[in-house]
Amino acid sequence: MNILDKIIVDKRQEVILKKSIIPVKQLEASVFFGKKTISLSQNLKNSNTGIIAEHKRRSPSKAEINYSFTVEEVVKGYENAGACGISVLTDGKYFGGSLDDLLLARASVAIPLLRKEFIVDEYQILEAKAHGADLILLIAAVLTREEIKSLSEFAKSLGLEVLLEVHNQEELEKSIMQSLDMIGVNNRNLKTFEVSLEFSKQLADQIPNDFVKVSESGISNIEAIKELKPFGYKGFLIGENFMKTDNAGKAATEFIQGL
């Protein structure tokens, strides 16, 4: 069993437990549930830089990245740097995140927030909405076409935007549908953790122009973005590169100014 399969097994179990503790009515009663969505796709279309900065403490491939910042320090730093949006990892076991991180981020900034999570159930989309997210991530590698359709349509019914992540042509072909806003190509193979910008380049032409194109993972310098822009990418998700420094906001500022 590869790491992605393990994460999904654990995630399904986690959702069952959470459903038994926190009823849907409680999530729907959240102060954020009626909040108007801030559009990341529009921000990316209108931006010259397209940076989506990530809050990420650790990962299965890198173990610990950074535990020394508060969520508020990181996300305010990203907002001040001029990021188009912020990705907040909420998985606890493998990434050291939580829904509280999303809540704190929402209380701290006024730019779009992505709940970065392994979503397998509508319940997690309700959680995202209740904790202030503006969009969710769906990962094609772990979902069938029917699941992508039902989960994305459910997210849209709540006013959330949807970023779908693919890694190869097969995943892309099964996933293209009108209920998506953005299609992201992950440059990291989630099964082997190998990273290459070639994944984004190879798939660029296959992504219809109705969707905002996002490149994710392995973007560690300005050259990578300059290399990808001619392929039609408007969004660039960067996490580790900022988080591994002493000051994530300062690192993001310098990076964005360099663009």
Choice among 41, 66, 186, 187 that is catalytic: 186
Catalytic (active site) residue 247: no
Choice among 117, 127, 216, 240 that is catalytic: 216
Catalytic (active site) residue 153: no
Contacts of residue 191, defined as CB under 8 A and 6 or more positions apart, other chains included, come to 2, 3, 4, 141
Catalytic (active site) residue 14: no
Choice among 79, 165, 171, 240 that is catalytic: 165
**DSSP character for 92?**
S
Q: How far is CA 13 from CA 6, 18, 19, 107, 111, in A?
A: 11, 9, 10, 29, 32
Choice among 11, 41, 56, 108 that is catalytic: 56
Contacts of residue 127, defined as CB under 8 A and 6 or more positions apart, other chains included, come to 18, 27, 99, 115
Choice among 43, 54, 152, 215 that is catalytic: 54
Choice among 217, 234, 240, 241 that is catalytic: 217
Catalytic (active site) residue 116: yes
Catalytic (active site) residue 216: yes
| 155 and 136 Cβ atoms separated by less than 8 Å | yes
Q: How far is CA 83 from CA 50, 146, 239, 253, in A?
A: 7, 33, 12, 9
Choice among 79, 87, 116, 187 that is catalytic: 116
Q: Which two tokens stand for residue 88?
A: 């907040």
Catalytic (active site) residue 54: yes
Catalytic (active site) residue 56: yes
> What are the catalytic residues?
54, 56, 116, 165, 186, 216-217
